[in-house]
């Protein structure tokens, strides 16, 4: 299942600098003639694909991007400095559309690929250019042309880095609301989430990951019962799974450890690779239990499951423990991304090595 992250930005190339009207003025040279220089070209705007980015979240806050204007020409035939080009980093896989026309301008599919989206203005010329045998003291000059300006729509097909796994009402939607700006529907009945929701967790510029809140799984999901098949197909494309457990179920007959086992069985039936994927246990609704009771239940579930992986205790409603959980996820994902990049480099080197 694909998710589309979108952002709309305005890009403005720099205007060209104006030409200069100037005449040489030096002692003993009363009629030095024209010496007005040309202006500089305006900077263009480029998008460059960066494999270190995976969302368009940074464009939510910075929507206007301007390249530098060219400097005006000066006397003594001095040319104005050209404006610097602006390079905007976007994730690999970003599609670029002109918002006004709907035209697709490009698709950045490889790291380092560059797309010019706005051309800078052309410089104006100074009065030196108009000097001739019949026009010895020209006062003509031209202004620089304006740089291109346009509204862009960026689209990125996003695969979630982290998938939230758990029975209906385990607290997945509440968690994603707490740690991101996503606002999925939250209520106290099963299957509140009918469609996947994406949230972006940010740790400053260039550090973020995508977390997916997905419809709860039920028995028979591997065979397509309920929303389970779509749910399992998407989870197979994530890097890491968070298994949320309701530690304070309304029904006292419900055993949290048994709920975990039921989902594990569905994962195994669908795909052994998915069942073997890295998974962290997240014990939710800590705020509804006393510290003593929570620790008792925590020890019981870990023992019943023979769990050896990471375990986190949180309250998705109050936010307790969620900050540490998200920080640990960011560190782990960066490690996984670095390992993937290293493996791809090795594969590329082996493919090009001489026989």
Instruction: Based on the fold, state whether residues 151 and 286 are members of the same structural domain.
Output: no
Q: How far apart are CA 52 and CA 210, in angstroms?
A: 13
Res. 186: pLDDT tops 60: no
Selection from 318, 315, 312 nearest residue 298 by Cα: 312
Categorise residue 236: left if φ over 0, alpha if ψ from -120 to 50, beta otherwise.
alpha
Span of 47-56, 158-167, 230-239 with lowest mean pLDDT: 230-239
What's the whole-number mean pLDDT along residues 18-28?
89
What is the rounded average pLDDT for all residues in the chain? 84
Position with higher pLDDT, 54 vs 253: 253
Q: How many domains does the chain have?
A: 2
Instruction: Based on the fold, state whether residues 98 and 9 are members of the same structural domain.
Output: yes
User: Would 140 be classed as within a structural domain?
Assistant: no
Q: How far apart are CA 2 and CA 51, in angstroms?
A: 19
| SS3 at position 1 | coil
Position with higher pLDDT, 11 vs 50: 11
Looking at residue 2, its pLDDT comes to: 47
250 HSE (CA, 13 A, CB side): 6
Q: Predicted confidence band at 25 (pLDDT cuts at 50, 70, 90)?
A: confident
User: Would 352 be classed as within a structural domain?
Assistant: no
What's the whole-number mean pLDDT along residues 336-349?
79
Instruction: Based on the fold, state whether residues 172 and 106 are members of the same structural domain.
Output: no
Domain holding 184, by residue range, is 159-347
Is residue 228 within 8 Å of residue 264, measured between CB atoms? no
| Domain closes at, from 125, 157, 189 | 157
Tell me: the pLDDT tens digits for 43-100?
999 999 997 787 787 887 889 999 999 999 999 999 999 999 999 999 888 999 999 9
Looking at residue 229, its pLDDT comes to: 41
pTM of the model as a whole: 0.59
Looking at residue 331, its pLDDT comes to: 94
Instruction: Based on the fold, state whether residues 70 and 50 are members of the same structural domain.
Output: yes
b/e for 209-230, b at 16 or more Cβ within 10 A? bbbbbbbbbbeebbeeebbbbb
């Amino acid at each position: 299942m694909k998710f589309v992250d979108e952002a709309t930005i305005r890009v403005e190339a720099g205007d060209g600098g104006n030409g200069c009207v100037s005449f040489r003025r030096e002692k003993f040279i009363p009629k030095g003639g024209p010496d007005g220089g040309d202006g500089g070209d305006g900077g263009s705007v480029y998008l460059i694909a960066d494999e270190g980015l995976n969302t368009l979240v940074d464009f939510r806050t910075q929507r206007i991007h301007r390249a530098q204007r060219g400097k005006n020409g000066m006397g003594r035939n001095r040319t104005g400095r050209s404006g610097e080009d602006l390079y905007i980093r976007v994730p690999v896989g970003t599609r670029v559309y002109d918002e006004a026309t709907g035209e697709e301008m490009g698709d950045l599919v490889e790291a380092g690929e560059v797309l010019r989206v706005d051309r800078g203005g052309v410089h104006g010329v100074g009065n030196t250019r108009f000097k001739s045998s019949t026009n010895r003291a020209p006062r003509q000059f031209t202004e620089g042309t304006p740089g291109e300006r346009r509204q862009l729509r960026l689209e990125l097909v996003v695969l979630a880095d982290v998938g939230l796994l758990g029975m209906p009402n385990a607290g997945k939607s509440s968690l994603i609301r707490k740690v991101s700006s996503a606002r999925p529907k939250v209520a106290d009945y099963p299957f509140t989430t009918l469609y996947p929701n994406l949230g972006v967790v940010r740790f400053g510029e260039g550090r973020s990951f995508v977390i997916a809140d997905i419809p709860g799984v039920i028995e028979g999901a591997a065979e397509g019962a309920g929303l389970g098949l779509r749910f399992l197909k998407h989870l197979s494309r994530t890097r890491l799974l968070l298994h949320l457990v309701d530690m304070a179920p309304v029904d006292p007959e419900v055993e949290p450890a048994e709920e975990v086992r039921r989902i594990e069985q569905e994962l195994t039936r669908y795909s052994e690779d998915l069942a073997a994927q890295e998974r962290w246990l997240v014990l939710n609704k800590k705020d509804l239990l006393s510290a003593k009771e929570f620790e008792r239940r925590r020890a019981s579930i870990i023992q019943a499951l023979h769990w050896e992986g990471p375990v986190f205790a949180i309250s998705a409603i109050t936010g307790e423990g969620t900050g540490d959980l998200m920080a640990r996820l960011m560190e782990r994902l960066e490690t996984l991304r670095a390992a993937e990049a290293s493996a791809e480099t090795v594969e590329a080197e082996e493919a090009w090595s001489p026989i």
